[in-house]
Amino acid sequence: MTGTDAPASPGRLVESAPGYRPRHTLPLRVEAMRQLRRRRTLVVFGILAVLPFVLITAFAIGSPDGDDNGGGRISLIDTATTSGANFAAACLFVSAGFLLVVPVALFCGDTVASEASWSSLRYLLASPVPRARLLLSKLTVALAFSAAAMVLLPLVALAAGTAAYGWDDLRLPTGGSLGAGTAVTRIAVVVAYIFVSQLVTAALAFWLSTVTDAPLGAVGGAVGLTIVGNVLDAVTALGNWRDLLPAHWQFAWADALQPQLEWGGMIKGTAVSVTYAVVLFALAFRHFRDKDVVS
């Protein structure tokens, strides 16, 4: 048999098939609907939507003089009941450190590993969906759902807080206040920065999702390493080395809740987070490109 008589590989046959377009495989709409129908998605959104009402109930049960701390410096929690904007800021403050980490790790860490655990990943690739296209579609949807989760919490908190405490200026812990319109803009900046700062967790979870077939391992590993980063940031003996930790900049968004918006800390935090995220996303694509998918 001559070289010209050798049978073509299945991949080449697919690529030469009439009407086949790699970019048209696994549309984002299809992947988004698949993920939206999953129970864990509904549970996550439900918890984030209910949290503001839980906090309103807690403030109602607790002392109405929660901002009296002996004359010391007040915090966002102390001013939570002064207006809807303050309540939304307080909800972000109590959830940014850990609660908002979980949806990001869940959406990004479960997306590929769950397909492997269901033994459906190889069938997706046999459709045939190019590996890079499959990862890109799943990553895009996972990040979109993560962003939606982060937007949902302050939106519900702002609406519920306004109904409970009224529409008024944002009282700043450092003194002074911001007009209600300006406060909404600043809160939007805070949400955007929190999302960017969580890109490290998203990338770590996504990389682990391509490495393991256990969704819980990918999600738990991302959350666990994020906690380790927070612990290391608390070790003051590390000195300036802590500046290289994403956790060191996770609350840099507090600079947005000042009379004069300060960008320095958020710019540094964004640079650190994006750098780690790009490296981890690249590792995920490289590993999955050469991975032997058997499940």
Q: What are the phi and psi torsion angles at 83 (to 5°)?
A: -170, 165
Alpha carbons 268 and 294: distance in angstroms, whole number: 42
pLDDT of residue 5: 47
pLDDT band at 162 (very low <50, low <70, confident <90, very high): very high
For the chain, give me the number of helices (H) and strands (E)? Answer: 11, 2
| Residues 196/256, Cβ–Cβ less than 8 Å | no
What pLDDT does 47 receive? 93
Token pair in block for residue 223: 């959350």
Whether the predicted pLDDT of 293 surpasses 50: yes
- Tell me the whole-structure pTM to 2 decimals: 0.84
What's the distance, CA 75 to chain centroid? 25
Asked if 89 and 187 touch (Cβ cutoff 8 Å), the reply is: yes
pLDDT over threshold 80, residue 289: no
pLDDT tens digits, residue range 163-175? 999 998 888 887 7
Confidence category of residue 9, pLDDT binned at 50, 70, 90 = very low
SS3 (DSSP) at 224? helix
Are the CB atoms for 84 and 165 separated by under 8 Å?
Answer: yes
Let me know the angle formed at the C-alpha of 22 by 21 and 25, rounded to the nearest 5 degrees.
95
If one counts every other C-beta atom within 10 angstroms of the C-beta of residue 260, the result is: 5
Residue pLDDT, tens place only, 190-234 = 999 999 999 999 999 999 988 888 888 889 999 998 899 889 988
C-alpha of 3 from chain center: 52
Position 181, amino acid = G
Q: How far apart are CA 105 and CA 67, in angstroms?
A: 34
Taking only the tens place, the pLDDT of each residue in 68-115 is: 455 555 678 888 888 999 999 999 999 988 889 999 999 999 888 777
**Which residues does residue 171 pair with via DSSP β-bridges, in sequence order?**
177
